[in-house]
Structure 1
Amino acid sequence: MTGLEVGGVAHGYGVGARRVEVLHDVSLAVRPGELVALAGPSGSGKSTVCHLAAGIEHPERGTVTLDGRPTAELADWGEIAAVPQQHGLLAGLTVRDNVCLPAHRAGVDPTETFAWLAEALDLDAFVGRGVTDTSLGEQQRVAVARALVLSPRLAVLDEPTGHQDDDHVTQVVAALASAARAGTAVLVATHDSRVWEVADRVVRLDEGRIAPDPAPDPV
């Protein structure tokens, strides 16, 4: 029941006069079966938290673990799957092959899960098309499907609705909520209030620090 644990993380880039401190003593958790939205203005550090949670980077100080193991040591997409802002799709493959690639590498038959994801994310009409022959919004949904095809222990998504129209936002949010209900710990960095509305919790970053929850309105 541990899930993702980010503990006392400080992180930055560059050295000397070029040094930029991005995160300051950030701590948060995402439990299995929980969808947590990471909110905050541009430049607040949301993408850096995503990179650390997904194991793309090592924290300079503090710890980032999934079920007690450093995320940077977990390379299996069945453990951690990510949707970066640039999507990270493979240009030489079709939509279907991009979605199914993690399953094929794991030796898992993705047929049933792929069929559900293709319908849920409105991919059916172009699954055989080269992924570079699709729109940005379509590519983003392909990346979401790829992240969920193995029902990972942790899914980390950076602005996964940024290129979607209203109907497709609803589909992406529903797919993420379904993944969480099935037991995946889901962390979503987003400006989209429609994601916040379905999240179990919203964690807010402000200038690289966890912002306190707003005080309740007086009775």
Structure 2
Amino acid sequence: MTDSGLRVVGVSHGYAVRGQRLEVLHDVSLSVAPGELVALAGPSGSGKSTVCHLAAGFESPDAGTVALDGDACPSVADWARIASVPQQHGLLAGLSVADNIALPAYRAGLDAALLDERLAGLAEALDLGAFTRRAVTETSLGEQQRTAVARALVLSPRLVVLDEPTGHQDDDHVEQVIGVLVGAARAGSGVLVASHDERVWAVADRVVRLEDGRVVTDAAT
């Protein structure tokens, strides 16, 4: 494993379900280096989303460690370090598409000219230019998903964690999403993508496959 980037080491994790303990992950280890795109593959229920939650800092593991550049992943959102695209997207209904994308940049105090440049570039790359002033609730699920991807990339974070980011896209828009993720990795971000889509696996530097909460393969493509 790399010394920098994301390191998940010996992680086990579970949840209480109707008074019983459901163990989801069992001694999972994986890494994502800066500039690397790693795909998480595996059947539904294999633990991909739980790995994403832990990597993004939404939860802390029951056992093992999850760290970014040697430090524990923050529980308070720091989108310049770790940005995420959850399956439910997490957009703010009262804001426009543009304001949802820009929200991490507003909080970080990003220079207005640089923000405008990044917004324009992401909107063009993800086919959102015609919708940026529209309320996000007035857009399709596919457009909302691409908005969430743009929001995750607006600060060029150290790590981007995405859970099924192509699930609501047609073929052309799948290629656009994949293109911006490859671009983010080439620009130096670590990118962790949970996906059933073989097109995502094909562009990944490595594919980590989970089954029953365990890593069964971790191989370069």
Band of TM-score, shorter chain: over 0.9
**Whole-angstrom distance in 2 between the partners of 1:212 and 1:143:** 29
Contact 1:58–1:72 under 8 Å retained in 2: no
Partner of 2:62: 60
1:66-122: CA deviation from partner (whole Å, max 9, x where unpaired): 001111346310000000000000000000000000001100031111110000000
Q: Find the residue that maps to 2:217 and give its secondary structure.
A: coil
**Whole-angstrom distance in 1 between the partners of 2:74 and 2:68:** 10
Q: TM-score when scaled to structure 1?
A: 0.95
Contact 1:78–1:150 under 8 Å retained in 2: yes
**Whole-angstrom distance in 2 between the partners of 1:7 and 1:123:** 38
**Whole-angstrom distance in 1 between the partners of 2:218 and 2:87:** 27
Q: Find the residue that maps to 2:54 and give its secondary structure.
A: helix
Matched, 1:41 2:53: no
Q: Find the residue that maps to 2:123 and give its secondary structure.
A: helix
Partner of 2:91: 89
Structure 1 runs (4+) deviating above 4 angstroms are none
Counterpart of 1:185 in structure 2: which amino acid?
Answer: G
Partner of 2:12: 10
1:139-178 alignment to 2 at 5 Å?
A: 139-178=144-183
1:18-37 alignment to 2 at 5 Å?
A: 18-37=20-39
Q: Find the residue that maps to 1:32 and give its secondary structure.
A: coil
Q: Find the residue that maps to 2:130 and give its secondary structure.
A: helix
1:79-118 alignment to 2 at 5 Å?
A: 79-109=81-111, 110-118=115-123
Q: Find the residue that maps to 1:14 and give its secondary structure.
A: strand
**Whole-angstrom distance in 1 between the partners of 2:87 and 2:17:** 26
Counterpart of 2:14 in structure 1: which amino acid?
Answer: G
For the aligned residue pairs, the C-alpha RMSD in angstroms reads: 1.4
Contact 1:10–1:59 under 8 Å retained in 2: yes
Counterpart of 1:143 in structure 2: which amino acid?
Answer: A
Deviation at 1:141, TM superposition (A): 0.1
Counterpart of 2:198 in structure 1: which amino acid?
Answer: S
**Whole-angstrom distance in 2 between the partners of 1:62 and 1:98:** 34
Q: Find the residue that maps to 1:125 and give its secondary structure.
A: coil
Counterpart of 2:108 in structure 1: which amino acid?
Answer: A
Paired-residue identity, %: 71
Matched, 1:77 2:79: yes
Q: Mind listing any 5+ residue stretches in structure 1 that lack a counterpart? A: 215-219
Q: Mind listing any 5+ residue stretches in structure 2 that lack a counterpart? A: none
Deviation at 1:172, TM superposition (A): 0.1
Counterpart of 1:30 in structure 2: which amino acid?
Answer: V
Partner of 1:184: 189
**Whole-angstrom distance in 2 between the partners of 1:75 and 1:120:** 25
Partner of 1:130: 135
Contact 1:12–1:21 under 8 Å retained in 2: yes
Indicate how the Cα distance of structure 1 residues 39 and 125 shifts in structure 2: closer, same or farther if over 3 A, else same: same
Counterpart of 1:63 in structure 2: which amino acid?
Answer: T
**Whole-angstrom distance in 2 between the partners of 1:78 and 1:71:** 12
